[in-house]
Every structure is written in structure tokens, then in C-alpha cells.
């Protein structure tokens, strides 16, 4: 569909990439989209000159984002969301940034050891903080905090989360139950939501190592027409589970901080 609007393929791919991820830099696009660098740099510069993109620096890296002051930005994002929702599932995943980097070959225990390190961190979780942001007025906006009770049963962890959510409607109580399952043989962790009970789980994703400090969803989770992309990060403070949710009615990002 976008072919009939933008003749330049690079423009198409850049706009979709920015819609999904929010920001980008030229060499990142070159690597992930497998497109020559120089044409991408020229296209980014033209889009910025035209007021569609805005560039800024993080350290020495020049990043680009969709121009927030552009009066046509809401209409452009609505069009890009519709186009993205009609892409084949395999193409959707191509536009989403997952944590990249090679796992060193000399890593003790290899990828399976990385998964076990995450599993150990998950088993010790006690608290949760999370924030949600949506570009849709009717979407999630706000933050929450609460306690997590962890029940370990063999290769599963049941997270019972309870706390308060602060949103447009004020403060309300929330509760969620999630099940994490360790697959030692395959070297991955699966995540399910138990909103309908333990016998009727809603599958969310399989998470596998991408770096020493990050697991990424092997594929996007499709819930009706919405796609969920997940990544789990670890640092000395705890774990961060990031969700990017895209669909005909959703354009959201949610971060769960477990400690």
C-alpha cells in the first residue's frame, strides 16, 4: 500500500521503522534493513529538511525521530499504523528492534547459562513498578507499583502481582497472575498470563538469549489483531520487561521493573 504513496523504498522503510521504534540512526538502519548506508543517510537528511524528521544527539550518535511539531504527524502515524497492521507477520518482526550483539563464544555455559542467570533473578523478585505510554488517547497512560509473590513449582514460577495503578481515572487496585516456565533443553523461558486460570493460560512469548544481559521474544505474540514484542533485560538493580504493542487500535509501550 505504501508503495503507491512513496516511490522511494527507503522513505517507506524509514517511516515504518520509526513508527515502530520511535528513533533510529543511519548505521542501525543500514544493518537491520540490509540497505546501503549512503542512500539511507541522504534520505534521512531530506526527510529532516522537509520537516518530517528531527535529529538529535545521544553522545556522539545522531538519532532521528518523527517530528513532534509537524501538524500532520497524527495523520501520518495513523496511516503508518494501518499499513503496519496489514503487513505479513514475518515482515512485522523485521521492523522491530531487538537487543543485538553476539554472545561471546567463551561464555561459561553458553546461552543456557545466560537463561539460568535470568531464571535465578526471576525467582527472587519481590516488587514491581511499571509505566505505560500510548499514542492513542484511549490507550494506557500511567504508572503502577506493587508486591509480587513468587511460587516455584518445578520449572515454573507463578507471579501473583498486586498493587495500585495511577492513571487518568485516578488510583485503582490491580492484580495479575503470570506463569514463567524454564525450558532447560531449548535454553529459553516462556511467559503466560493466567487471567483465565492455570488451565487456560494466554501465551505471551518465548524469550531466548540475544546478549549476556538480554532475552528477546522469538516471535511476536498475536492477540486478535495486536502484535506484542517483548524483551527482558537484567542489570544490577533487577529486571526490566519491555512490551511494544502495535495494532489497529493500539500503539503502546509498557515497561515492567522487577526487583
Distance CA 154, CA 149 (A): 16
CATH 1.10.10.10 domain locations along the chain: 2-88
Contacts 24+ apart (CB under 8 A), 167-173: 167/140, 167/141, 167/142, 168/141, 168/142
- What pLDDT does residue 131 have? 92
Distance CA 259, CA 246 (A): 27
- What pLDDT does residue 102 have? 56
Question: Which is more confident, 33 or 64?
Answer: 64
CATH 2.40.128 domain locations along the chain: 110-258
- Give me the mean pLDDT over the 23-32 stretch: 84
What 3-state DSSP class applies to 25?
coil
At 44-93, the pLDDT tens digits run 998 888 888 989 888 888 989 888 778 888 788 778 877 777 777 667 66
- What pLDDT does residue 162 have? 96
Question: Which is more confident, 85 or 174?
Answer: 174
- What pLDDT does residue 1 have? 39
- Under 8 Å between Cβ of 231 and 242: yes
- What pLDDT does residue 175 have? 94
Handedness of CA 216, 219, 223, 226 (dihedral sign): positive
* The CATH number of domain 2-88, selected from 2.60.320.10, 1.10.10.10, 1.20.1420.20, 1.10.3720.10: 1.10.10.10
- What pLDDT does residue 151 have? 96
Of 24-28, 36-40, 149-153, 214-218, the range with the highest mean pLDDT is 149-153
Question: Which is more confident, 231 or 89?
Answer: 231
For residue 5, pLDDT over 70 is answered with no
- What pLDDT does residue 180 have? 96
- Give me the mean pLDDT over the 226-230 stretch: 75
Query: Cα-flanking dihedrals φ and ψ of residue 136, to 5°?
Result: -100, 135
Mean pLDDT score of the chain: 82
Question: Which is more confident, 257 or 210?
Answer: 257
Question: Which is more confident, 198 or 245?
Answer: 198
For residue 3, pLDDT over 60 is answered with no
- Give me the mean pLDDT over the 211-235 stretch: 76
- What pLDDT does residue 145 have? 95
- Give me the mean pLDDT over the 177-201 stretch: 90
At 99-157, the pLDDT tens digits run 445 555 556 656 788 899 999 999 999 999 999 887 766 667 889 999 999 999 999 99
Architecture of the CATH domain 110-258: Beta Barrel (2.40)
Q: How confident is the model at residue 256 (pLDDT cuts 50, 70, 90)?
A: very high
Residues 7-26 as b or e (16 or more Cβ within 10 Å = b): eeebbbbbbbbbbbbebbbb
Percentage of the chain modeled with pLDDT above 90: 25
Amino acid at each position: 500500500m505504501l508503495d503507491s504513496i512513496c516511490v522511494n523504498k527507503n522513505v517507506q522503510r524509514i517511516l515504518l521503522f520509526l513508527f515502530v521504534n520511535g528513533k533510529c540512526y543511519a548505521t542501525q538502519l543500514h544493518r537491520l534493513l540490509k540497505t546501503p548506508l549512503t542512500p539511507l543517510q541522504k534520505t534521512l537528511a531530506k526527510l529532516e529538511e522537509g520537516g518530517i524528521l528531527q535529529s538529535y544527539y545521544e553522545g556522539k550518535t545522531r538519532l532521528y525521530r518523527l517530528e513532534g511539531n509537524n501538524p500532520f504527524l497524527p495523520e501520518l502515524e495513523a496511516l503508518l499504523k494501518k499499513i503496519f497492521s496489514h503487513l505479513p507477520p514475518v515482515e512485522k518482526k523485521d521492523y522491530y528492534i531487538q537487543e543485538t550483539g553476539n554472545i561471546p563464544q567463551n561464555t561459561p555455559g553458553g546461552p543456557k547459562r545466560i537463561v539460568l542467570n535470568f531464571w535465578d533473578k526471576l525467582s527472587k523478585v519481590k516488587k514491581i513498578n511499571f509505566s505505560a505510554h500510548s499514542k492513542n488517547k484511549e490507550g494506557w497512560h500511567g504508572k503502577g507499583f506493587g508486591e509480587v509473590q513468587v511460587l516455584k513449582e518445578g520449572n515454573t514460577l507463578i507471579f501473583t502481582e498486586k498493587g495500585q495503578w495511577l492513571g487518568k481515572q485516578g488510583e485503582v487496585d490491580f492484580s495479575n497472575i503470570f506463569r514463567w516456565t524454564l525450558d532447560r533443553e531449548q535454553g529459553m523461558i516462556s511467559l503466560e498470563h493466567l487471567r483465565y486460570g492455570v488451565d487456560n493460560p494466554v501465551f505471551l512469548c518465548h524469550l531466548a538469549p540475544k546478549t549476556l544481559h538480554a532475552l528477546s521474544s522469538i516471535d511476536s505474540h498475536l492477540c486478535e489483531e495486536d502484535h506484542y514484542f517483548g524483551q527482558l533485560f537484567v542489570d544490577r538493580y533487577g529486571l526490566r520487561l519491555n512490551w511494544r504493542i502495535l495494532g489497529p487500535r493500539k500503539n503502546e509501550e509498557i515497561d515492567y521493573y522487577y526487583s
